[in-house]
Structure 1
Amino acid sequence: MKFFLCGSSCFSSGSKATIINDRSSLPGEQSHGNLRLFSSNELEIATQNFSPSNKIGEGGFGCVYKGWLEDGSVVAVKVLSVEVESMRGEREFISEIAALSDIKHENLVTLRGCCVDGAKRYLVYDYMENNSLVHTLLGQEHNRAKFSWEARRGISLGVARGIAYLHDEVQPRILHRDIKASNILLDQNFTPKVSDFGLSRALRDNTSHVSTHVAGTL
């Protein structure tokens, strides 16, 4: 049996992560709380069947593809990669993703929703026009942006604010533990957005918020 989930969220400071406890009648629902259900077919259409030409990134949690939804909005679809035997059940996964989608801050990437199709897991994020710091700051010369010292300072402060929000304001707290250039995305105004927070807990059944799946720099 298949069921799908997608939700929209806008970031504003001061909100707490919440868990959706109503887990009844998930399959076939058109909505679940403030979340919408999407079909895998919609994501396939959005990404042109996950065409290699739409692939915009790849990391420890899977590949990311650019997509266009029916309403014209541009999104980034992450195809999650995790061992089936260690994966959370569908309902537990949805509960965790619902909590992550409720975390709102201007320096965190907006998680718009997800899709569950058997053992397959997809996350849908807002598309970041200026990719990550790996491309715009550390990438090949023709892809680099010229950042002034003031711009670099602004990016650094934005990243710090996003991390501080996860560590100090979200309840329960989330320790990212994998802060690196590829996890710092930039929107069209070069506003920094921290990505990939909380995914180890959402994906795996044997981890806590202090994840051992990706133990990067804290």
Structure 2
Amino acid sequence: MLQRKQLNLAFLDLTAGETQENDILVMLHGYGSNEKDLIQLAPLLDREMRFISVRAPERLDREMYGWFPLEFTPQGVTADREAVREAGKTLAVFLRGVLETYNPRGGKLWLMGFSQGAIMSYLIALAEPSLLHGIIALSGQFPEPALQAAPDPQAFRALPFLVVHGLYDDVLPVTNGRFAEQWLTGKIDDLTYREYPVGHSIHPDAPAVLDEWLTSRRRAT
């Protein structure tokens, strides 16, 4: 059943079967999109999970939202560091609300983000690893050095990561995915990295990899 709900952020809640103590995958859309985007992947993923697709807090236009403002300059895309931090705090409050409301297995969540949503996923993993079972980062960018501090490196190390990027991404080039792989290597115990021949999008073969990864890691936790 798909329902629209509200905590400190609006979200879509999709369940199948039992709803108590299910694993929960929280989905974070990219800049200029909305909560109706990534929820379309749910039928292709682990049917035993609950899916929560969140609407970012910054309204950009009709049906268009972002996690934090971006400035497009000749030198590239930039963001205010403090706005990024505040977005991370807002998302952390939401995730704690999900944990309190739905009591998922193990008292933790799975987090998946695309583009700006992937940046948010990295931020939460670094700042609040105890909230999470694992991370899926799709076509994202690892946070800048000033935001890379991990207060609990041991909890962070235990998180499994799946990082996916398009070879022909012209929004966040594939070098971003490769940097994330390089940065994570040696800092976590379970890292899977995949590249696909697409631009800033999700390759048709990727959902099967996401499903297999989620199922295997869920059984291992």
- The answer to whether TM tops 0.5 is no
Greater strand share, structure number: 2
TM-score normalised by structure 1 residue count: 0.27
Bigger CA radius of gyration: 1
Higher relative CO (CA 8 A, sep ≥ 6), structure 1 or 2?
1
TM-score normalised by structure 2 residue count: 0.27
Greater helix share, structure number: 2
